[in-house]
Amino acid sequence: MEHEGAHGQAVLPVASWEGNFFGAGWQPGASGLESTEVVSGRKLLTVGVPDATQTAETAARAAEAQREWWSLPAESRAEVLRRAAGLLTREREELAGWLVAESGAVWSKARWELGGGAAELAEAAELALLDTAVEAESTVPGRVAGAHRVPLGVVGVITPWNMPVLLATRSVGPALAMGNAVLLKPDPNTPVSGGMLLAHVLREAGVPDGVFAVLPGGAETAGAIIDAPEVAGVSFTGSTRAGREVGRRAGAGLKKCSLELGGNNPFLVTEDAEPKSAAEAGAWGSFIHSGQLCIGIGRHLVHRSVADDYLHALVERAESLVVSDPHDPNTQVGPIINRTQHDRITSIVSTSVEAGARKLTSREAAAPYYPPTVLTDVPYGSPAFAEEIFGPVAAVTIVDHESEAVRLANASEYGLAAAVRSGSVERGRAIAQRLRAAMVHIGDQTVNSEPRLPFGGFGTSGNGGGFGGVASVETFSTWRTTTVTEPGRPFVF
């Protein structure tokens, strides 16, 4: 059946997606993958999963289509991406419903994410028009030399479930803008909101057949994409564990690889910070989307002199948030994506309490929900301090001085994001210089990203800022050097 939009018009041709994947148009998969609603577990749609032969055929078709796509004027590619951004905006309510059902996002998060996805596509349109040519002085008389960026060819994009639209568009948009073809593999939890919706939008916007494909599935599909000889670059967003395997496999094929992985992000609150406003920021950074964000706040490092006021305000906020079905427009904290993740959060909290942490919140909730939880006196080395929780848990460690906060902030294998709340910008900047994080937000919290700013991490958080503005240009293109020598010079043989 087709879903209807806000004014009764048919918007999403869902019936044509049943049992299919998107290659050169909708094609039946060799097997099926069920998209299910997080809260109820009911089936939403069965999408097609390509086998190895179908994936190979799609990659070969993409390589052919890419040459024609790259030959188009840059303005033509930009216009297609602008139209896609407009469609994502215009159909936002219908698309948001899929994010709510399939990923458990609350309505405000779903709408925000779709707006972010549209912004990513609009920014990508501008990248298509970027003049990357540079002149270089040659040492050879009569020679003129220069270099410019050219597409990699075919790019594989592998995305997670927690921000399925935004994390797809931030790779797919720039890759298309630079003249590549793209093979997108969405997470098995979100095959529709992470893939089919974007296929619909890009096709309607005018992306030619073969240039963009959505290949649902699990690790087997991802491996087939990475191994395809036509694929020259891979963009992966996901866990550090999976990222290591993606990097190893791409490296074996000498393929360009951008990895944006996990995080355990510190939030530093100094003694001259205003504790209540800092706690509001801390609550947002730990509880938004049930804490299921790689850039969410993992560790709250709070100066002892403001700790009581900070904890009081943080607990008050945690106890007041509405935890319920994401379909309810009043819900602020929705479900955990699946039982495995719910059990993991539960284990991290209970083990950390056994290690000496104190739980200050009293709320309980049955799966798939997990209540916003505040822990204090979290010991160094306990799971709530050392691991990426990926749930609505604010783990607070009290410190006695700034240098201790910096030392603990850097005592992690991760290096994605950090934030500093201080009484002065100057002090915040000074602290930021000492933090081992690829992104530091002063006077804010860690959940921040903008399409034109580089995004990525150090250490086990990834291999650098591979997304955003000029960083996307570097990720999805390569240099081509051109020389012109006139007249032709003589050679001795």
Q: Which of 264, 335, 296, 306 is nearest to 421 (CA)?
A: 306
Task: Please state the φ and ψ torsions of residue 34, each to the nearest 5 degrees.
Answer: -85, 130
| pLDDT of residue 88 exceeding 80 | yes
Q: Which domains does the chain have, with CATH numbers?
A: 3-261+462-480 (3.40.605.10), 265-442 (3.40.309.10)
| pLDDT of residue 219 exceeding 60 | yes
* Averaged pLDDT, 317-325: 97
List residues bridging with 237 in a β-sheet.
Answer: 260
CB 156 within 8 A of CB 226: yes
CB 268 within 8 A of CB 291: no
Q: Tell me the pLDDT band of 439, cut-offs 50, 70 and 90.
A: very high
Per-residue pLDDT at 136: 86
Burial class of residue 491, CB neighbours in 10 A (0-12, 13-18, 19+) = exposed
Do you know the residue count of the chain?
A: 493
User: Tokens 């505040």 appear where?
Assistant: 374
3-state secondary structure of 36: strand
* Averaged pLDDT, 17-32: 95
Q: Tell me the pLDDT band of 492, cut-offs 50, 70 and 90.
A: confident
CB 89 within 8 A of CB 176: no
Residues 449-480: tens digit of each pLDDT = 999 999 999 999 999 878 999 999 999 999 99
- Alpha-carbon span 279 to 303, nearest angstrom: 13
More reliable by pLDDT, 230 or 12:
230
User: And the tokens for 383?
Assistant: 């799971």
Q: Which of 98, 446, 104, 186 is nearest to 294 (CA)?
A: 446
| pLDDT of residue 10 exceeding 50 | no
Q: Which of 39, 7, 19 is nearest to 325 (CA)?
A: 39
Q: Tell me the pLDDT band of 11, cut-offs 50, 70 and 90.
A: low
- Alpha-carbon span 165 to 100, nearest angstrom: 12
Q: Which of 243, 198, 249 is nearest to 88 (CA)?
A: 198
With a threshold of 0.85, does the pTM exceed it?
yes
| pLDDT of residue 209 exceeding 70 | yes
Residues 6+ positions from 308 with CB-CB distance below 8 Å: none
- Alpha-carbon span 399 to 307, nearest angstrom: 9
The amino acid at residue 113 is E
Per-residue pLDDT at 9: 36
| pLDDT of residue 8 exceeding 60 | no
Task: Please state the φ and ψ torsions of residue 231, each to the nearest 5 degrees.
Answer: -80, 120
| pLDDT of residue 6 exceeding 60 | no
Active site residues: 260, 294
Q: Tell me the pLDDT band of 4, cut-offs 50, 70 and 90.
A: very low
User: Dihedral of CA 259/260/264/269: which sign?
Assistant: positive
- Alpha-carbon span 471 to 463, nearest angstrom: 12
Per-residue pLDDT at 322: 97
* Averaged pLDDT, 316-336: 97
Q: Which long-range contacts (CB under 8 A, 24 or more apart) does 341-347 make?
A: 341/292, 341/390, 341/391, 342/367, 342/368, 342/370, 342/391, 344/390, 344/391, 345/370, 345/389, 345/390, 345/391, 345/393, 346/370, 347/383
* Averaged pLDDT, 145-158: 97
Q: At what angle do helices 107-128 and 74-90 cross, to 10 degrees?
A: 170
What is the share, in percent, of the chain residues with pLDDT greater than 70?
98
User: And the tokens for 108?
Assistant: 């405000």
Q: Tell me the pLDDT band of 399, cut-offs 50, 70 and 90.
A: very high
Which DSSP state fits 400? S
| Coarse DSSP helix, strand, coil percentages of the chain, rounded to the nearest 5 percent | 40, 25, 35
The amino acid at residue 396 is V
User: Dihedral of CA 455/458/461/462: which sign?
Assistant: positive
What is the share, in percent, of the chain residues with pLDDT greater than 90?
93
